[in-house]
């Protein structure tokens, strides 16, 4: 009865019913909202789930040891996210979280070889999988929803446009480095829309292969080059640098190394734009289920952890923007598309994989809605005069390229 007692203390808002392996029923919460009925199929879960609920609940659902008789996985995860403060404050659970904080520096050890293995774990999955839930340009990062009513395709196009505006592409022929270039969509857009000479680096063999193919198909091989290498191995100088969705894999103990390398790579009048998932409050450990099964080695910083390091590396912050619910909306679109193609995903992998990715997509969405996750974009220079005094140039670029981001990706 340990887990049931824990849930009765944790779930203050909501309607949770637990049926244990012996058939006993326990009710938790204030009865509000749609009821979720969770059935435990193994006696051991009553004890195991108390030790690390964020990890073992996800594992048990993924393995089929927990099923939901009433309500959906989205209903259950949303209810748990709304009550997460109570979970964190529980003495037994907080001990596990404290242990996670003490061991995270070891987990953040990130030499070049390990970094590549971590990337391969996630990004070298079947390309067909990503086609089933991403937009046509395979943008696998937070989209930019101006109103919230946009399609995923439009919001991702607007994200590329927004980043381009902050890079201040004030003349053609700028040499640009894309650190963590994904499947090449952003680099190709910047070459077309901004006339940049783009170098993209990725640690994923599958992403590198497709990026090269896309550059060739677009007739841009002379201006866009993608390389399978670590950014730390680059020795060139660039007018512009952009990094989207890669910084989360650097690890806190490696922040100085990252920004020192960026400083080495960036021209004296250059501009760097960093786009990363972050936290708005306590710099705690990443959800253990996400770290173990989805993004090994990942880490989520606060601005308070990042900004002092930038200053220590003699770089200047010239603009900061916090995107709050944009990633929650992005993940909602991804999960809807994933569910619409669930049968095809199961054919590629299996039902266990489907349950694992459901937990990942919904869990991350609720993290942005209820648990203090956000996305930040930081514009960084070496020279305070590298960009204009006001943000008018950002709005002027976006106005001048309105509707063009979608076409530039084709």
**What strand order describes the sheet that includes 66-70?**
25-28, 16-19, 36-40, 66-70
CA distance 199 to 339: 35
CA distance 96 to 101: 9
- 64 within 8 A of 104, measured Cβ to Cβ: no
Residues shown for the chain: 410
What radius of gyration do the chain's Cα atoms show? 22
To the query of whether residue 196 is one of the catalytic residues in this protein, the response is: no
Element (H, E) at 252: none
Greatest alpha-carbon pair distance for the chain in Å reads: 70
Q: Of the listed 142, 196, 354, 364, which one is catalytic? A: 364
Element (H, E) at 365: helix 351-370
CA distance 370 to 362: 12
Residue 227, Ramachandran bin (φ over 0: left; ψ between -120 and 50: alpha; else beta): beta
- 238 within 8 A of 211, measured Cβ to Cβ: no
Query: Reduced to 3 states, what is the DSSP secondary structure of residue 337?
Result: helix
Which sequence positions are flagged as catalytic? 364
């Amino acid at each position: 009865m340990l887990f049931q007692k824990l849930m009765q203390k944790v779930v203050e808002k909501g309607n949770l019913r637990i049926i244990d392996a012996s058939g006993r029923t326990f009710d938790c919460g204030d009865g509000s909202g749609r009821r979720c009925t969770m059935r435990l199929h193994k006696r051991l879960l009553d004890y195991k789930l108390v030790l690390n609920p964020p990890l073992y609940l996800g594992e048990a659902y993924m393995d089929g040891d927990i099923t939901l008789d009433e309500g959906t996985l989205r209903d259950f995860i949303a209810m748990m996210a709304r009550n997460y403060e109570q979970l964190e404050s529980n003495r037994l659970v907080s001990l596990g979280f404290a242990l996670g904080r003490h061991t995270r520096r070891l987990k953040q050890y990130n030499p070049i070889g390990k970094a590549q293995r971590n990337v391969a774990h996630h990004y070298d999955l079947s390309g067909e999988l990503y086609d089933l839930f991403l937009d046509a340009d395979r943008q696998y990062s937070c989209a930019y929803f101006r109103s919230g009513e946009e399609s995923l395709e439009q919001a991702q196009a607007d994200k590329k446009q927004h980043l381009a505006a902050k890079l201040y592409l004030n003349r053609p022929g700028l040499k640009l480095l894309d650190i963590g270039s994904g499947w090449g969509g952003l680099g190709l857009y910047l070459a077309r829309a901004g006339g940049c000479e783009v170098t993209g680096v990725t640690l994923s063999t599958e992403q590198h292969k497709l990026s090269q193919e896309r550059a060739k198909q677009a007739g841009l091989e002379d201006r866009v080059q993608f390389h399978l290498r670590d950014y730390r191995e680059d020795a060139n100088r660039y007018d512009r640098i952009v990094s989207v969705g890669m910084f989360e894999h650097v690890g806190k103990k490696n922040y100085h190394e990252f920004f020192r390398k960026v400083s080495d790579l960036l021209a004296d009048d250059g501009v760097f734009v960093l786009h990363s998932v972050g936290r708005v409050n306590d710099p705690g450990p990443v959800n253990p289920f996400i770290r173990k099964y989805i993004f090994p080695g990942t880490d989520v910083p606060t601005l308070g952890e990042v900004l002092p390091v930038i200053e220590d590396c003699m770089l200047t912050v010239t603009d900061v923007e916090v995107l709050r619910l944009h990633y929650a909306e992005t993940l909602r679109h991804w999960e809807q598309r994933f569910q619409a193609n669930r049968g095809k995903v199961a054919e590629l992998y299996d039902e266990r994989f489907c349950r694992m990715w459901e937990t990942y997509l919904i869990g991350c969405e609720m993290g942005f809605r209820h648990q203090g996750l956000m996305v930040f974009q930081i514009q960084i220079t070496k020279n305070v005069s590298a960009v204009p005094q006001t943000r008018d140039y950002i709005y002027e670029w976006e106005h001048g390229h309105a509707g063009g981001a979608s076409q530039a990706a084709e």
